[in-house]
């Protein structure tokens, strides 16, 4: 039985990838996944989450990943929510834009689906 349910917000526009990630995230004990298809919807739902998973290589229908991440970091309510970025280049200069105090973590693609849930769970603990 769960003492505390952790909510992960998954922001991804590709339904097939989103479904694959959803199945993986649902294996994390005491975890509830909220999914959205756009950046604006993600920003609106962010305050309900304990962590946010965002693919930085994915093109959103409305905002790019930088706009989403910057909005989340500038908002007093969402700035301390861990932001987990799925990226093909985890050491890239793109990620240096975030302040050292930001709770931003990079998860490298291509990830092993069997280990992704435990990696995300570890990042949240």
Show the CA angle centred on residue 16, arms to residues 87 and 114, nearest 5°.
60
Is residue 105 within 8 A of residue 81, CB to CB? The reply is no
Domain containing residue 70: CATH number: 3.40.50.2300
- DSSP H or E segment with residue 107: strand 104-108
The single residue listed with the structure tokens 């998860």 is 107
Domain tally, the chain: 1
Q: b or e along 59-81 (b: 16 or more beta carbons within 10 Å of the residue's beta carbon)?
A: ebeebebeebbebbbeeeebbeb
Please list the pLDDT of the chain residue by residue as tens digits (125 residues).
677 888 999 998 888 888 988 888 888 888 899 999 899 999 999 999 999 999 886 677 888 888 898 899 899 999 899 998 887 765 655 555 665 555 777 777 777 777 888 878 877 76
Report pTM: 0.85
Residue indicated by tokens 């349910």: 5
The answer to whether residue 1 sits within a structural domain is no
Specify if 78 maps to a domain. Answer: yes
CA dihedral 73, 68, 16, 30 (to 10 degrees): 20
Q: Is residue 67 part of a domain?
A: yes
- Tell me the residue range of the domain where 43 lies: 6-124
């Amino acid at each position: 039985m769960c003492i505390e349910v952790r909510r992960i917000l998954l922001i991804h526009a590709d339904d097939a990838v989103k479904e694959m990630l959803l199945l993986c995230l649902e294996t994390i004990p005491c975890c509830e996944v909220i999914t959205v298809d756009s950046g604006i919807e993600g920003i609106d739902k962010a305050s309900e989450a304990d962590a946010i998973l965002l693919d930085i290589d994915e093109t959103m229908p409305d905002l790019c990943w930088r706009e989403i991440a910057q909005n989340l970091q500038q908002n007093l309510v969402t700035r301390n929510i861990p932001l987990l970025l799925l990226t093909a280049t985890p050491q890239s200069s793109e990620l240096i834009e975030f302040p050292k105090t930001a709770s931003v973590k990079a998860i490298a693609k291509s990830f092993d689906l069997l280990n992704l849930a435990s990696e995300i769970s570890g990042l949240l603990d």
